[in-house]
Amino acid sequence: MTVALARQPIHEDLHQSAVRQTLALARRSVLGRLRQPAALAPSFVFPLFFAALSASSYSRVKNAPGFPKVDSFLQFGLAAAVMQGAFFGATSAAADLAVDIEQGFWERLMTSPVHRTSIVIGRLMSSLVVGALQATVFMGFLAALGVRVRSGPIGIVSIVVSASLVSLAMSTLMSTFAIKTGSPEVVQGMFPLVFVLMFLSSTFMPRELMHGWFRHVVDVNPISYLAEGMRGFVIERELSGWRFFEAIAIPSIGCVLALLLCLRALRRRLAQM
Amino acid sequence: MRRFGDIVAVDGVDLAVQEGEIFGFLGPNGAGKSTTVRMLTTLLRPTGGRAVVAGFDVATHPAEVRKRIGVALQDAAIDPLMTGNELLDLQAVLYGIDRSRARLRAGELLERVGLTAAAHRRVGTYSGGMRRRLDLALALMHEPVVLFLDEPTTGLDPMSRLTLWEEVRYLNKELGTTVLLTTQYLEEADQLADRIAIIDNGRIVREGIPRELKAQVGAPTLLVAVPDEQRERAREVLVAFGDIRPTAEGTLGVGLRDGAEGIAMVVRSLDQAGIRLHRMELNEPSLDDVFAEATGHSLEGARSRLLEPAAGAPPTKGRRRRGGRK
């Protein structure tokens, strides 16, 4: 089959840039998230609601032996709120990618000369931005309630960076399933599983208060280290290299591993076309 | 060719679309139109055979093909959260158009498709027709050599359909854009396409210029309404001018052997026989007749119904009359 020859050498002056394409697609994904306040609100409201509920229910737990020295349970719970927000945001970003596939925008992109990895990375950028925004809002809101980040400005910035990386890593991982299935329902359906993994970690309680098999599970759950790293910036005055490793390096490694999985899923999907 | 497991969706599609023409790809749902377009637009890899678009093989040089084609697929999948302007900006970046040129081009296209006033609004607020027009503008942003329109007017109201047809004609006549259009609407293919191919069950069953294809089907049908008591006598007169064809109740139909030129003779003969003529209507063969002749079933209306020629039906197989069509 033959469809028309070129009537002239076209578009010789067009220069596709993967960076420009990724940034343009990232802008679209961020705008898309911000323009859905009803979908965005739960990821801001629920973690704060959960933090307030925990603070009122477990206020006296902070006096238990082995519990870290904190001003309030709310201070202890700040990292948990940030983590929850990051996971909420990650789910939405991955679901947005699945919606693109389901509703045909993906095909629009596929018929254009856009770099294939830009499509995925651009889509995931919203989780990075929203993760940072959530962390900032949570810290600002809890600061108004008297919660201090003891490690100061460097700790605050580190929490924001960590939240972004956690959100990006999780959304990238979930995007693997979005690309495989093209189903927003499957991606949304994974959120309870993520939430269970959070409960099987030291996100909501310190490891020192846990025993038996539960403690073993928490010890091997990477989410425990993310939460403890982030929490370390909140409740410890001294900045330690270990906390940076937990809060920044681990999610960074997670991002790379998740991206490798995601790009593998992308290659497979493209090969099946 | 394209297989999905054991199912052969497209097979034996062998055609050449010439530069600067509007080519209509006509067929019912599931005939293989969209699968063919998806292969030509690099969305699906052919599992056999070869396809060349704008001088490049779709399997070996898909990136080159993508730079040269514009695609508006079914359902106009446009992000409802973005504005028209934002989507055109995005399209420009994806194709590597520099900012100043993109701005000019976007302005021209928005004006062309009548969306300048709505360009700052989110697409979610657009009507179906506005979305299709924006979809068209997006497909044209990089001045493609070949434009693929996959059922561009499905679901549109008549006014929006006419507007889109005008736009396609303009692109083709004024800008020389080659257009490959898939449609299940006979009128659309008839109105727009310089040439058409009819696809059924994944195979091309007819290809050519609509007028010639219709002429090949056979003579036009003259419908004659006469008083009931004179019907038998009228039939005896009409049979001298061609084969009697099945018609709606109350009329007689004859396939005019001499074409439209035979009408005067029919009128004279009926008059000489003393038959009172209530009404006459000449129906040229339609693309549906072409389709029916090629496949044995009709495309429009009862798509799945096999045609059963009534008693006294013409020798052409599967013919179905369509009153008042060109």
CATH number at residue B266: 3.30.70.980
Whether residue B240 sits in one domain with residue B102: no
State which residue of chain A sits closest to B20, comparing Cα positions. Answer: A4
Complex confidence, ipTM = 0.85
Whether residue B230 sits in one domain with residue B130: no
**pLDDT of B247 strictly over 80:** no
Whether residue B130 sits in one domain with residue B82: yes
- Residues of A whose CB is below 8 A from B97: 14
- Local structure of B204: helix, strand or coil: strand
pLDDT confidence of residue B13: 77
pLDDT confidence of residue B214: 83
Q: Do A2 and B16 touch (CB under 8 A)?
A: yes
**pLDDT of A8 strictly over 60:** no
**pLDDT of A175 strictly over 60:** yes
Asked if A109 is an interface residue toward chain B (Cβ–Cβ < 8 A), one would say yes
B:28-57 residues touching chain A, CB 8 A cutoff? 36, 40-45, 49-55
pLDDT over 90 for what percent of chain B?
33
Whether residue B238 sits in one domain with residue B90: no
State which residue of chain B sits closest to A33, comparing Cα positions. Answer: B81
B251 in any annotated domain: yes
B249-264 per-position pLDDT tens digit: 778 888 888 888 888 9
Mean pLDDT of chain B: 82
pLDDT confidence of residue B298: 67
| Spatial distance between the Cα atoms of A55 and A49, rounded to a whole number of angstroms | 10
Domain encompassing residue B258: 217-295
- Residues of B whose CB is below 8 A from A17: 96
B56-103 per-position pLDDT tens digit: 999 899 999 999 999 988 766 889 999 999 999 999 999 999 888 899
**pLDDT of B47 strictly over 80:** yes
pLDDT confidence of residue A272: 73
Higher pLDDT, A209 or A272: A209
| Spatial distance between the Cα atoms of B85 and B62, rounded to a whole number of angstroms | 28
Whether residue B54 sits in one domain with residue B200: yes
Count of structural domains, chain B: 2
Q: How confident is the model at residue A186 (pLDDT cuts 50, 70, 90)?
A: very high
Higher pLDDT, A62 or A139: A139
Last residue of a domain, one of B179, B214, B249: B214
| Spatial distance between the Cα atoms of B307 and B321, rounded to a whole number of angstroms | 11
Mutate: best of B34, B93, B207, partner A, most A CBs <10 A: B93
pLDDT confidence of residue A1: 57
Of the candidates B318, B322, B326, the residue with the CA atom closest to the CA atom of residue B293? B318
pLDDT over 70 for what percent of chain B?
87
> Under a CB-based contact definition with an 8 Å cutoff, are residues A88 and A46 in contact?
yes
Range with the poorest average pLDDT among A70-84, B106-120, B217-231: B217-231
Please report which residue ranges of chain B form alpha helices under DSSP H. Answer: 33-40, 62-68, 84-95, 99-112, 128-140, 158-175, 186-192, 210-217, 231-238, 263-272, 287-295
Biggest CA-to-CA distance, chain A: 80
Whether residue B286 sits in one domain with residue B207: no
Question: How far is CA B312 from its chain centroid?
Answer: 31
A257-269 per-position pLDDT tens digit: 999 999 999 999 8
Higher pLDDT, B215 or A261: A261
Higher pLDDT, B306 or A3: A3
The alpha carbon of residue A134 is apart from the nearest alpha carbon of chain B, in Å, by 21
How would DSSP label each residue in B273-314? TTPPP-EEEEE---HHHHHHHHHSB-SSSSTTPBP---TT--
B320 in any annotated domain: no
Asked if A220 is an interface residue toward chain B (Cβ–Cβ < 8 A), one would say no
- Residues of A whose CB is below 8 A from B95: 11, 14, 16, 112-113
Q: Do A108 and B77 touch (CB under 8 A)?
A: yes
Q: Do B146 and A3 touch (CB under 8 A)?
A: yes
B304 in any annotated domain: no
Whether residue B104 sits in one domain with residue B16: yes
Which strands make up the sheet holding B242-245, listed edge to edge? B242-245, B252-256, B221-225, B279-283
